[in-house]
Structure 1
Amino acid sequence: MTASPVGHMTAVLPQMIADLETLVCCESPSADLDAVATSAAVVTELGTARLGVPPERIVVEGRTHLRWRLGDAPSRVLLLGHHDTVWPIGSLARHPFSVVDGVVSGPGCFDMKAGLVMAFHAVAALPDPSGVTILITGDEELGSPSSRSLVEEEASACVAALVLEASADGGALKTARKGVSLYHVTAHGRAAHAGLEPERGVSTTLELAHQVLTVSALPDAERGTSVTPTVLTSGHTTNTVPDAGRFAVDVRVRDTAEQSRVDRAMRALRPVLSGARLEITGGPNRPPLEHGSSAGLLARAITLAGRLGLPEPVGAAVGGASDGNLTAGVGTPTLDGLGAVGGGAHADDEHVVVAELPGRTALLAALTDDLLTDPPPRTGARRAGPVFQGDRP
């Protein structure tokens, strides 16, 4: 790196903004495989220009992911991001890329294409990037259905994972994320005419009403556990006792013990109405990213920020999940939220604060270099806990 890391990143800031415009102007909604493939090609070209080497292009179930393994040394530090977004094709027409009064706007700029630009420029500034792996996936916004095993495999080989998701409020790093479980409770009953002989039916609407109340009693606010029944459907016509229906349940937890408790309770649900039958599907989706996984990396970031003349980073616990949950779940120390400062993720006011980019990128470069030269110990083992399965978080 240069003698003045922040000064170097300030000097290349115009290039960073141009790179961000290139990525934002290539729309990449997760569900559109062609769009994601096109975006991967654009990210490949940009990353190759900054790093000097092309990535491996990994296609799983039609979804395109990119991996740079730099140098000849074994992988030690994983920089992790995604190039897919929640924004459908055509969003640029309503929310075009712009830079006004030091603020970048545009779909996907904050979540998380600015993070990709930061990763490329940070690694390009390293004196020796050997041992760095950059993994950029194409389905994170869907819950990483095709990239989950890839993320876990790469993280398992590294001593640390640095996640380029956008920052928490005020630029805070994300030092804890809740784990996620997702369920469907399906009820089977018996149909009957609602006016002529309703007593012959077994109503799944009524059965599900009982189950929703039971599930709604499972949260534990003191432990930060939410258990939220969400979408509910039952029946097909207004004059028929419904014989089929289901509702979804979203669970967020701070620790795996709570995830296991809720899982046991969900699988213990039993029908209330005679003749009704229940089917419980789903389960734990992502383990929590707990403070213990990030504490050592946050301490390093604080020390390095002081050396760089930057404000002291602070940590924040957030409810949303990311691929950082997956890296922490395999025992790899993980620090999340190292990407852009701004706000409005997934919303019309999505934006990035330009003035924060040089310092954040310099800190990322310094932290990566520090981990390469002085790697921390890692647990090397997946945490004990529930079995995790894929679905959208």
Structure 2
Amino acid sequence: MLSDLEELVRCESFSADLGAVARSAEVVGALGERLLGVAPQRIVIGGVSHLRWSFGIPKVLLIGHHDTVWPMGSIRSRPWSVADGRARGPGVLDMKAGLVQMFHALASLPSPDGVCVIVNGDEEVGSTTSRQLIEQSAGGCAAAFVLEASADEGGALKTARKGTSRYEIVVHGRAAHAGQEPEKGVNAAIEAAHQVLSAAGLGVSAASAEDGSPLGAATITPTLLSAGTARNTVPALARLTLDVRVPSAAAQETIDVLVRGMTPRTPGARLEVTGGGQRPPMGPESSAALYALASRIAAEQGQEPLRGAPVGGASDANYTAAMGCPTLDGLGAVGGGAHADSEYVAVDRMVPRARLLAGLVARTRR
């Protein structure tokens, strides 16, 4: 498993580099073919390379992704290594170790019959080209297991996820010379600053409205902000990005109305709002039965008692759950530091995690 993991980690697959993602698909496909005995169907949508294996009439859907957030060349500054029981390298936790565990889990079964496997190449950027593929595959399945990393370093499964929305607020102002006649301009940067504070206020209101939810409060977080073209020009244009996380579909709809209703404070400025809902929330009811089954299997296998946790991040589990397919997430690697320099996988948890997945597949595809 470590040898396979090293091969995947060394093949960089930054989401924004479609050539790198295509090369990664070749490597992941070859690994799956070696362990499962069948070459995958390679599906390219919008230039993004996805892989699918389907055995018989699928009753169980396994989902992983092979793209990462790490820019090309990261392997040089964060090289592959295994020391003190930890494997490191760009994307090792999120989620190349999960892919390795998935293939080895399936290979340990007498047959992969009744299983569909999807490994997409754009999860880190919202699964924009693979969403339909995932939703169609989930439609007739009794269970979906997502190989994202555990919720924490202790190995908790992800039993619920917030939904996500993304907005860009474009502020239209009017340019003018900043020294000679600034009064003739409409400063888009100042208006953008007003909108940052307005968005923060909306976040407080949304949090209060959702207080007590199992997933916690809704959040509205200003993230990217830019304005202007020159140091001596009143900015005519500014852009603000909002990251929204919601515990319920109702909260997602409410916040959509609030964001689209934001109004300018600066005379002469105009706002243009684009974006909206991306991933729907995954409520705890989606995973309850599968989590209970996983807990029983772990006990039968002599593993430590499982824990579950709701998380604020989203994944492809949000899509399968919204399709009405029972879904359990966080079945991939155990470790920490996803998306950070400290990213690592606990090597001694890889085999037990693969055994747990194999047990789940065996029980749910009957």
Scaled by the length of structure 1, the TM-score of the pair is 0.87
- The Cα of 1:31 is off from its aligned counterpart by 1.6
The one-letter code sitting in structure 1 at the alignment partner of 2:274 is: T
Paired with 2:179 and 2:29, the residues of 1 have a C-alpha distance of 63
Partner residue of 2:73 out of 67, 90, 106: 90
Q: Which moved more, 1:28-37 or 1:262-271?
A: 28-37
- The Cα of 1:113 is off from its aligned counterpart by 0.9
Do structure 1's residue 61 and structure 2's residue 52 form an aligned pair?
no
Could you say which residue in structure 1 is the equivalent of 2:2?
17
Question: In the alignment, is the contact (CA less than 8 A) between 2:142 and 2:365 conserved in 1?
Answer: no
CA deviation profile, 1:216-256 (whole Å, cap 9, x unmatched): 11123335111111222222223332222121111111111
Provide structure 1 residue ranges, at least 5 long, that are not aligned to the other structure.
1-15, 374-393
Paired with 1:245 and 1:68, the residues of 2 have a C-alpha distance of 45
Could you say which residue in structure 1 is the equivalent of 2:270?
277
Paired with 1:194 and 1:292, the residues of 2 have a C-alpha distance of 57
Aligned residue for 1:304, secondary structure, equals helix
Could you say which residue in structure 2 is the equivalent of 1:177?
161
Partner residue of 1:355 out of 348, 352, 361: 348
Paired with 2:41 and 2:10, the residues of 1 have a C-alpha distance of 23
- The Cα of 1:83 is off from its aligned counterpart by 1.0
Aligned residue for 1:184, secondary structure, equals strand
- The Cα of 1:345 is off from its aligned counterpart by 1.3
Aligned residue for 1:249, secondary structure, equals strand
CA-based RMSD of the aligned residues comes to 1.5
Superposed counterparts of 1:178-327, under 5 Å = 178-219=162-203, 220-221=206-207, 222=211, 223-327=216-320
Paired with 2:190 and 2:339, the residues of 1 have a C-alpha distance of 36
- The Cα of 1:274 is off from its aligned counterpart by 2.8
Provide structure 2 residue ranges, at least 5 long, that are not aligned to the other structure.
none
Aligned residue for 1:362, secondary structure, equals helix
- The Cα of 1:192 is off from its aligned counterpart by 2.4
Could you say which residue in structure 2 is the equivalent of 1:121?
104
Paired with 2:74 and 2:233, the residues of 1 have a C-alpha distance of 42
Partner residue of 2:337 out of 333, 336, 344: 344
Aligned residue for 1:241, secondary structure, equals coil
Aligned residue for 2:251, secondary structure, equals helix
The one-letter code sitting in structure 2 at the alignment partner of 1:46 is: L
Q: State the number of aligned residues.
A: 356
The one-letter code sitting in structure 2 at the alignment partner of 1:197 is: E
The one-letter code sitting in structure 2 at the alignment partner of 1:174 is: K
Scaled by the length of structure 2, the TM-score of the pair is 0.93
Aligned residue for 2:330, secondary structure, equals coil
Partner residue of 2:122 out of 133, 139, 151: 139
Could you say which residue in structure 2 is the equivalent of 1:109?
92
Aligned residue for 2:23, secondary structure, equals helix
Do structure 1's residue 159 and structure 2's residue 142 form an aligned pair?
yes
Aligned residue for 2:15, secondary structure, equals coil
CA deviation profile, 1:314-338 (whole Å, cap 9, x unmatched): 1111111111112112221111100
The one-letter code sitting in structure 2 at the alignment partner of 1:229 is: P
Q: Which moved more, 1:198-207 or 1:346-355?
A: 198-207
- The Cα of 1:347 is off from its aligned counterpart by 1.9
- The Cα of 1:47 is off from its aligned counterpart by 0.7
Could you say which residue in structure 2 is the equivalent of 1:389?
none
Paired with 2:183 and 2:148, the residues of 1 have a C-alpha distance of 55
CA deviation profile, 1:344-387 (whole Å, cap 9, x unmatched): 212222211111112111110001111112xxxxxxxxxxxxxx
Taking structure 1 as reference, are residues 96 and 244 closer, same or farther at Cα in structure 2, changes over 3 Å only?
Answer: closer
Question: In the alignment, is the contact (CA less than 8 A) between 2:144 and 2:327 conserved in 1?
Answer: yes
Identity percentage over the alignment? 56
- The Cα of 1:271 is off from its aligned counterpart by 2.1
